[in-house]
Amino acid sequence: MGGVTPQPPILVSADESVPARQTDIPWRLKQMLDILVHEEKQRPAGEAGPCLEYLLQHKVLETLSTLGKAEYPPGMRQQVLLFFTRVLGQVQHPLLHYLNVHRPVQKLLQLSSDRLGCGTEKEEVQFAAVLCAKIKQDPTLLAYILEGQQPRHLPAGAVQEPGMGARADKEGAEGTAGCVTPLVSSSSSSQKSRVALKARENLLLLVGLAQEAAAARLVRSSALCPLLTEHLCDLYSAVPPGTDPADVLAMGRASWRSQGDSAGDGVFPGKEGLDAFFGWLDYLDELVMGAHPVRSTQRRAEQGGHKPATRLSFCCHPQVVADAIAEAVDEKFFQGVLQPRLLQMSELTVLSATAMLTGTVRQIRAPPLLHRLVLFLLGPDQHPETPGDTPHPLRTQLIDRCNHLSDEISLASLRLFEELLQKPHKHDPYFTDGFPDAGFGMMKKSPSGKGHVSEVVSSFLCLVPEEAKTSSCMEEGGYDTYVHDALGMVQACRASAAPWGWPLSPRPLDTCHPEVTFYEGHFLKVLFDRMTRILDQ
C-alpha cells in the first residue's frame, strides 16, 4: 500500500461505461482489504500501521464514497458498500471515531436512505448490520453515525487535518440519514423477505442499547419513532374498506418474522393488507419489548393513580426508546387514526374500526405500549366511579355500544372488552380501587362449611348447558374439573395482579358505609341492561 499514489489506480477505468464488477476494481479493493487485515495481524493490538494511516490521511474512504454516490463507473456503489462493510467488519482497530471514516459512512447511509430499492438493497442492509453490531459493542459510536450528529471531539490518536474541524461542523449541520432510516425503510418497504427480516433484526439490535445516553440520543437525533408510526398508519389506511369485520376477528396473532409465509392459508379479501398491518404492529410491539427495559414511568403512573406526563424527560428514567415508541404510536395511531374512526356515526365504519381495534388489543403485549393503549381506551381516571363523573368520551361510546340496537355492533364491542379484560393491566372497565365506601347491605352469616360450597358449585353447574361445558368428564357435572380449572385461573390472575399491591383478601363489610348509594359502574350497568333485554327478544 505504501506505493499507492494519491490517485490510486483502482479509481481509473479505461471505459467509463463498463460496469465496475467487470473491471479490476473489485480485485483491487479486495487486495487493499487483505493488506489492511494482514498488517493488523503483524502489529501489536491497538496500533495503527502505515497502510491504515495512509487510508485515513489520504481520504481514500471519502473518495470511494463519492464515487459510489456518482455510480462512477456503473455499479461502483455496490462495490463501495461491500468494501466498507468488510473493512468495518474485519479490521479490529477502532475506525468509526475517525473523521475520515465516519463522514463517508454517513454519506453512504444518506445515499442508502435516498435511493432505496435501486439494486443495492442487500448490500445496504449488510452495511447497516455491521454498524449496528459496532454500536452494540460501543454505544458511544452512535454519536458518530446518527442523523446530523458530529462528535465535538475525537479520541486520542484520531487523524484530523488542520482546518478540517470547521468543515466537519458545517457539513454536519446539513444532517445525514444515519443507520436508522435505511433500516426502517428496508424493514417496511423491501420486496425481498430476507432483506426485510435482516433489517428488522438489526433494528432490534440497535434499540436494545444498554447505555442510557445512547438510547436517549437514538430517540432525540433520529427519525426512528416517526418512521415506525407513519408506516403503521399507512398500513392501516391500506386495509381495504370492504374487509369483513368477522374475518378480522377470526385472525390469530400475527408474527413479524413469518410475514408472507401464510399468504395461501385461508385467503379472503383484504387478508394481505391485514397481515401486513398486524405483522408490523407485532414488530413494533417486539421493538418496545426489547428496548431499554425499565418500568419506572408506568410504575409511577399506576401507583400514583394519575395520568403520566405526555412528554418524555430523557434524564428522569432510562426506558427512553420503549416509552418514545409507545408515545409516538399513541399520538399518531391511537389518537390520530383510530379515535376519529371509532367516534364516527356510520355503523359500517364503527364495525370495521372496532374489529381492527380488537385485533390491535389482541396483538399488543409490551407493557409500555399496553399501558398507552389502556389509557387511550379507558381514560386516565382510576378512582371508583360515581354516577356524576364526567365521562371519558371514547370509553363511554365503547361501553354504550355493548348494548347497541345493532347486534353486530354489540357483539363486536363485547368481543373488544373480552380481549381487553384478558390483558395483564391494572386498569379495567369494571372498577379500579374498589367500590367507594358502599356496602352491599348483606346480612352477617356464620361461615359456611366446605359442603355448602360444593352444593353451590354443583347447583351452578347444573344450570350450565352441556354445550358450554369445557370438561369432557361429566361425572357429578364435572365438579372436580371445574374446581381444578377455576383454581388455575385464580392463581394466574393473582400472579398477574401481584405487582399492583392489591390486598389478598376482601375488605371487611363493617368498614363500609351502608348509607352510601351503591353504584356498579357504567360497564356493569350496561351489561345488566343488556341482560334484561334478552327476555324481550
The rounded distance, in Å, linking the Cα atoms of 514 and 438 is 6
Over range 469-483, report the average pLDDT. 68
Residues 246 and 319 in one domain: yes
pLDDT at position 62 is 95
Q: Is residue 536 part of a domain?
A: no
User: What letters, b where the CB count within 10 A reaches 16 and e where it falls short, cover 20-55?
Assistant: beebebbebbeebbebbeebbeeeeeeebbebbeeb
Query: Which of 5-9, 91-95, 289-293, 499-503 has the weakest average pLDDT?
Result: 5-9
Domain boundary among 405, 421, 437: 421
What are the tens digits of pLDDT across the range 500-537?
887 777 767 666 666 677 788 899 999 999 988 877 76
Please state, in angstroms and as integers, the Cα–Cα distance from residue 292 to each residue in 218, 299, 507, 522, following that order: 11, 15, 38, 38
CA 428 remoteness from chain centre: 23
Q: What is the pLDDT of residue 520?
A: 84
Give residue 84's domain range.
9-155+169-212
pLDDT at position 473 is 58
* Residue 18 shares a structural domain with residue 98: yes
Whether 201 and 277 map to the same domain: the answer is no
- Of 421, 440, 470, the position where a domain reaches its end is 421
Compare 236 and 212 and report the one with higher pLDDT.
236
Is 296 a residue whose pLDDT tops 90? no
Residues 200 and 234 in one domain: no
Residue 300 — very low, low, confident or very high, per pLDDT cuts 50/70/90? very low
Same structural domain, 183 and 326 = no
| pLDDT given for residue 319 in this prediction | 77
Is 178 part of a structural domain of the chain? yes
Place of cell 468494501: 83
40/145 same-domain check: yes
444 within some domain: no
Q: Are residues 206 and 255 in the same domain?
A: no
- Per the domain annotation, does 471 fall within a domain? no
Which residue is listed with cell 409507545?
326
Residues 201 and 239 in one domain: no
Shared-domain flag, residues 301 and 198: no
Task: Please check whether residue 46 lies inside any domain of the structure.
Answer: yes
User: What pLDDT does residue 309 have?
Assistant: 39
Q: Side-chain half-sphere of 52: how many Cα atoms within 13 Å?
A: 26
Burial class (CB in 10 A: 0-12, 13-18, 19+), 220: middle
**What rounded mean pLDDT belongs to the chain?**
79
Confirm whether 43 is domain-assigned: yes
Residue 384 · residue 431 · CB < 8 Å: yes
CA atoms within 13 A of residue 220's CA, in its CB half-sphere: 13
- Whole-structure pTM value: 0.79
User: Is 468 a member of any domain?
Assistant: no
pLDDT category at 244 given cuts 50, 70, 90 is: very high
Asked if residue 462 has pLDDT above 60, the reply is yes
Q: What's the start-to-end Cα distance of the chain, in Å? A: 90
pLDDT band at 326 (very low <50, low <70, confident <90, very high): very high
pLDDT of residue 344: 92
Q: In this structure, what DSSP letter does residue 513 have?
A: B
Domain closes at, from 367, 388, 421: 421
Mean pLDDT of 164-192: 59
pLDDT top residue among 27 and 453: 27
Q: Which region, left, alpha or beta, applies to residue 117 given φ > 0 means left and ψ of -120 to 50 means alpha?
A: left
**Per mean pLDDT, which range of 23-32, 311-320, 366-375, 417-426 is the poorest?**
311-320
What is the grid cell recorded at 462? 347444573
Domain count, the chain: 2
Query: Minimum mean pLDDT among 101-115, 281-295, 339-353, 456-470: which range?
Result: 456-470
Q: Taking Cα atoms as reference points, which of 190, 203, 206 lies closest to residue 120?
A: 190
* 236 and 286 inside one domain: yes
Q: Judge whether 70 lies within some domain.
A: yes
Residues 185 and 307 in one domain: no
pLDDT tens readout for residues 258-271: 866 555 456 888 89
In a shared domain, residues 110 and 43: yes
Q: In 43-98, where does DSSP find H-type helix? A: 50-57, 60-70, 76-90
